[in-house]
Structure 1
Amino acid sequence: MRTLTRYILRLHFAPFLFAASGLTVLLLLDQVSKRFERLIGKGLHWSVIVEVFVYSTPFIIAQTLPMAVLIAVLYVFSRLEGDFEVTAIKASGIPLTRVMAPLLVCAVILAGAMTWFNNTILPQSNHHLQVLLTGIGRKKPTFNLREQTINEVLPSRLYVHPGTIDQERSEIGDVRIYDERDGQQSHTIYAARGKMAFEEGGEDLYFDLEDGVMQVRPNQRPYAFRRVAFEHMRLRIPDMGNALERDTLGAVRGDREMNIAEMREEAHRGFLMADAARAESETYARAITRQLLDFRQPVEAGSLMETATGAAAGPKGEARGDPGSGMEPGTEEGSLAVDEIGSGPGGDSDSAAAATGEDSAPDSAALAAESAARRFYTAFDAANQFEQYADRELTGLRRVNQFWVEIHKKGTIPAACIVFVLIGATIAVRFPRGGVALVVGVSLVCFGAYYVFLIVGEDLSDRLWMSPLWAMWAPNIVFGMFGLGALWRSTRVTR
């Protein structure tokens, strides 16, 4: 048995390495073709370009290893069955499951290693790649500008709209610049042509503009403006920088740049957001219901529950006769909501506490809902408020699903290695004469179907139609059941 195990593993080693390296190179070349335009002409050192593709490699490896497992298993078992070696093994009384056992063990080990890789190495490489690409995008801004588009050069302060761009000469034509850096007035510049260049030190950006007009509009007087024509104008933007900068501390991490622990924290924040919105909605509903049952509108913004206030000041009849006399002398309007809802003797005060669902002073969510209820006057106001609560709850739930999808994906794709061993071995034994066509055809169909399942599942989870657990693990379950069924059929036919 040990000889058979070593023989099976040795046969799979070379095809697996060949398939993994070949697929990685192909996908890496695809990345090169997509990012070539963003990298060329930036004046980057060759080491920076190499660094971009080094950081792109872990993401590609995370996808190609399961593919390589399927290709290697299909190729080896198709060859074994074509040479009647599988038939000889079966004739010796060794079942197909025993032949597949070493591969399944290796697939489990590989899946565990890939899960660790996806949780530790991959998030860091994705983050460094994003930071590097962001820094490259800021270098030589003419290569980052788009024709006939309003380009943001400085966030919320400076925008450039070029009609034409000559990347080689860093020239722009029919350009409009919207300058909001001066808080007192806005500048709009129109120029027939111009150039963009950094100073020799590489920190300040200059626009050399020709044949244009500048309009200056004071922000305090929007209907007044000055118009200045010019033949040549030089616009300086300080501290732009032409050097490659990498802000790894200030960069915000996306979901694919986090490990499982960080994504669980983000998902928990989404759950708290949804829970707070749900609690506010319930408190708001009880508050406006109690207000409607009083059969009158609130007199002031700070007097939501006159009944509770009247109970603290005197008999209920006096409070109804004079709503303004319900507040004790020295009581501030801002503290009225807390006093009304807090615990204490009196039926009205108890009902106010019941409206929040607590026996003590309300939390911030309850106070926010009570504050919104004071602004309630029409059904339209209530409908808008309930819609805002529903949107916040939906946003929180989608945030939860977004991060849990990525958490499950870190284990789903590695687990595909085990599933592909089952599928590849049983299909290759079932069709021994397929050859290379079988390997290529089955691989493409399996890869395509598997990733379609993942994409559809992720979309359904984002729409809250399916839980992230089932959305991400459904492909493995479906393909695994197919592989087990094919294995059972093969064993049954052999007997």
Structure 2
Amino acid sequence: MKKIHLLLLKAFIRPFIVTFLIVMFVLLMLFLFKYIDDLIGKGFEWYVIAELMMYASATNVAMALPLSVLLSSIMTYGSLGENYELVAIKSAGISLRRAMYPMFIVVAILAVSAFVFSDYMLPVANLKYYSLLYDARKQKSAKLLQEGVFSSSFPGYSIRVLKKGDDGQTLKDIMIYSKAPKTGNMDVTLAKEGTMFRTPGDKFLVVKLRNGVRYAEDAGDNGYNRRQRLIRFRFKETEVKLDLSEFKFKRTNEEDFRSAFVMMNIKQLRNYQDSTKRIIDSSESRNFSTLMPYIKFYAIPKKSDSVKNYIRYNKKNILAGMKTTEQISAVSAAQSEIRSIQDMMKSRNEGFKETGKNIRRSVVEYQKKFTLSVACLVLFLIGAPLGAIIRKGGLGLPVVVSVIFFLLYHIISTIGEKGVKDGAWNPIVGMWIAIFVLTPIGMFLSYKAATDSALFDLESYKRFFNKLLRRKAAV
């Protein structure tokens, strides 16, 4: 390997690692901002949050890797152009294509690694991430009794505490609604003050009430009216034991999430598509055999002793020659058969629509595993010549330009993906349309950079328009 190639590799790897970590950090912050209300205040251990963030970072690689390749390539070649190192490289007889050669190999290795990651590691990360996120969002808040709010976290109880002490255990003005599961009676307990504490092992929350009254309604002796008798019970001190088993973090079986397409690799997606298509084909043959009994054919010999008068078939009016009562009976029977067929096929049609949607979703996930790798190559094809043209390094103009091109790629790919899921676009066209659009742009920029075109030089555009205005003035 030539020294110039080693220099370019060193100049590319450092900004690539930095930009990749920065993008991953930003995406992770977006994840935290989105689910902060579902994670804070539920009593999770630190390692649960750390595990969830690790899996969330793995799922963000599909977005972070192409953006990092684009941004780092613009920064690398922009810095080389700004420091006139590209000029020195070209003066040594090395063209821009040869200077991009080692970088292209590195990006190709990254693309292959991205494909392996998306096929083997990403399905496992998605399974861990979505199952853990589901359990975390389902977990009840660890803030058991908040001030001035009715809490229904405990089964069969609704509790309101008007004010809490500084220690968090002293309670003031307590109201407890308790409902018996069998009789449905509603009991109300009011207390001026109380304290709460947890039993060993955090199995129960005990609320000790002082100076209160309890109201209860029951059916009385007759049993007809559930609210016939009112019982009032005053107390100096009593306690209520509340079950805390619902507040313990429980994990759902991960096997329940494996049917989602984001948790499947290429082999599993292909097997699903093949098996589902076979089911559709067999269902279509069963539909034909199901409809045949509703279609009746009658064959009568031309000469028959039992039939004396034949009615000639009329194409314009198939009921011609029949009596009015016979026509009404025939039409009613036909309508009944049609309604039966419609009712039977309606449910089957809904099943076919849902199966078609699932097939399209599986195709989307199947194509994503390839588009991620190709996107890295295409965005590098845009970023490297673009950096050589703008000749600006650092995190200023390269960040703006890279974000614009990445948003263009992301918006086009999102529109294509939605079109495939809705069935409006062909899967190949919809999933690869962003690649089809950006590849010519990358080739055009590579040509301009190789020919030292001043594509973003404002002075050249000013000179062009000044010449154009002079010509118009002379005319």
1:258 corresponds to 2:264: yes
User: Is 1:481 matched up with 2:425?
Assistant: no
Report SS of the residue matched to 1:36.
Answer: helix
Q: Which residue of 1 aligns with 2:399?
A: 440
- 1:19-52 deviation line (CA, Å, top 9, x unaligned): 0111112222222333333222222222222222
Q: How far apart, in 2, do the equivalents of 1:283 and 1:165 lie?
A: 69
Q: Compare relative contact order (CA 8 Å, sep 6+) and give the higher one, 1 or 2.
A: 2
Identify if the C-alpha distance between structure 1 residues 164 and 92 changes in structure 2 by more than 3 Å, giving closer, same or farther: farther
CA distance, structure 2, for counterparts of residue 429 and residue 104 of structure 1: 15
The equivalent residue for 1:472 is: 431
CA distance in 2, matches of 1:159, 1:470: 55
Are 1:278 and 2:284 counterparts?
A: yes
TM-score in terms of structure 2 length = 0.68
**Matches of 2:422 and 2:111, distance apart in 1:** 29
SS at structure 1 position matched to 2:247: coil
Whole-Å Cα distance in 1 between the matches of residues 35 and 125 of structure 2? 17
Match of 2:101 in 1: 101
Residues 59-89 of structure 1 show CA distances to partners (whole Å, capped at 9, x for unaligned) of 1233212211111110111121222322333
Cα distance in structure 1, aligned partners of 2:423 and 2:161: 44
Q: How many correspondences in the alignment?
A: 399
3-state DSSP of counterpart to 1:466:
coil
In structure 1, which of residues 246, 249, 267 is the aligned counterpart of residue 251 of structure 2?
246
Q: How many Å separate the matches in 2 of 1:267 and 1:163?
A: 54
Q: Distance in 1 between matches of 2:275 and 2:100?
A: 44
Q: What is the SS of the residue equivalent to 2:119?
A: helix
1:120 aligns with 2:125: no
Deviation at 1:104, TM superposition (A): 1.4
Distance 1:419 1:257 in 2: 27
Q: Secondary structure at the match of 2:104?
A: helix
- Using the TM superposition, give the Cα deviation of residue 464 of structure 1 relative to its aligned residue in structure 2, in angstroms: 0.9
The one-letter code matched in structure 2 to 1:278 is E
The residue aligned with 1:298 is: none
Partner residue of 2:74?
74
CA RMSD for the aligned pairs? Answer: 4.7
Contact 1:197 1:207 in 2 (8 A): yes
Instruction: Measure the CA separation in 2 of the matches of 1:459 and 1:143.
Output: 40
Instruction: Say whether the 8 Å CA contact 1:187–1:215 is kept in structure 2.
Output: no
User: Matched residues in 1 for 2:399 and 2:33: separation?
Assistant: 24
8 Å Cα contact 2:41-2:141 kept in structure 1: no
- 2:352 maps to 393
Deviations 1:298-324 (A, max 9, x none): xxxxxxxxx9xxxxxxxx999xxxxxx
From 431, 434, 438, the counterpart of 2:390: 431
| CA distance in 1 between partners of 2:446 and 2:162 (Å) | 61
How far off is 1:251 after superposition?
Answer: 3.3
Matched position secondary structure for 1:377:
helix
- Residue 474 of structure 1 aligns with an amino acid whose one-letter code is I
Q: 1:24-423 maps to which residues of 2 (within 5 A)?
A: 24-140=24-140, 187=184, 201-202=201-202, 226-227=226-227, 240-253=245-258, 254-288=260-294, 290-291=295-296, 293-294=297-298, 377-423=336-382
CA-CA distance at 1:445 after TM superposition: 1.0
1:349 match: none
CA deviation profile, 1:309-359 (whole Å, cap 9, x unmatched): xxxxxxx999xxxxxxxxxxxxxxxxxxxxxxxxxxxxxxxxxxxxxxxxx
SS of equivalent to 2:256: coil
- Which letter does structure 2 place at the counterpart of 1:92? A
Unaligned runs of at least 5 residues, structure 1: 146-150, 217-223, 295-306, 308-315, 319-373
Relative to structure 1, is the Cα distance of residues 192 and 475 closer, same or farther in structure 2, using a 3 angstrom cutoff? farther
Shift of 1:11: 0.5
Cα deviation for residue 379 of structure 1 reads: 2.4
- Structure 2 CA distance for partners of 1:462 and 1:434, relative to 1, 3 Å: same
- The alpha-carbon distance between structure 1 residues 36 and 211, as it changes in their structure 2 partners (threshold 3 A), is farther
Listed one character per residue, the Cα deviations across residues 190-229 of structure 1 (whole Å, up to 9, x for unaligned) are 979999998755557999999788899xxxxxxx984487
Matching residue within 405, 419, 425 for 1:460: 419
Q: CA deviation at 1:398?
A: 0.9
Larger deviation, residues 18-27 vs 277-286: 277-286
- 1:250 deviates by 4.7
AA at the equivalent of 1:408: Q
Distance across 2 between alignment mates of 1:455 and 1:215: 60
Q: Which residue of 1 aligns with 2:13?
A: 13
Unpaired runs of at least 5, structure 2: 146-150, 307-332, 454-475
Summarize the Cα distance change of 1:457–1:243 in structure 2 as closer, same or farther, 3 Å threshold: same
* TM-score when normalising by structure 1: 0.66
**Structure 1, residues 259-295: CA drift from partner, whole Å, max 9, x if none?**
233333333454345334433433344442x23x45x
Distance 2:190 2:399 in 1: 54
CA–CA separation in structure 2 for the residues paired with 1:12 and 1:190: 71
- Which AA in structure 2 matches 1:453? I
Q: Distance in 2 between matches of 1:177 and 1:399?
A: 46
**In 2: Cα distance, 1:125 partner to 1:467 partner:** 29
Read off the aligned partner of 1:242 and give its amino acid letter: F
> How far has the Cα of 1:447 moved from its partner?
1.8
Contact residue 78 and residue 434 of structure 1 kept, 8 A: yes
**Is the radius of gyration larger for structure 1 or structure 2?**
2
Instruction: Give the residue type in structure 2 aligned to 1:441.
Output: V
| Cα contact 1:199–1:205 (8 A) shared by 2 | yes
Q: Deviations over 1:354-378 (max 9, x none)?
A: xxxxxxxxxxxxxxxxxxxx99934
Letter in 2 for 1:243: K
Equivalents in 1 of 2:138, 2:249: separation in Å?
8
CA contact (8 A) 1:278 1:389 kept: no
Distance 1:240 1:475, change over 3 A: same
Q: Distance in 1 between the 2:342 and 2:208 partners?
A: 55
CA separation of 1:10 and 1:136: change in aligned 2, threshold 3 A: same
- Residue identity in the other structure for 1:263: L
How far apart, CA to CA, are the structure 2 residues paired with 1:13 and 1:166?
A: 58
CA displacement, residues 455-482 of structure 1 (integer Å, 9 cap, x when unaligned): 2122111111123332222212221221
Identity %: 21
Q: 1:143: Cα distance to partner?
A: 6.4
Residue 315 of structure 2 is matched in structure 1 by none
Q: One-letter code of the match for 1:50? A: A
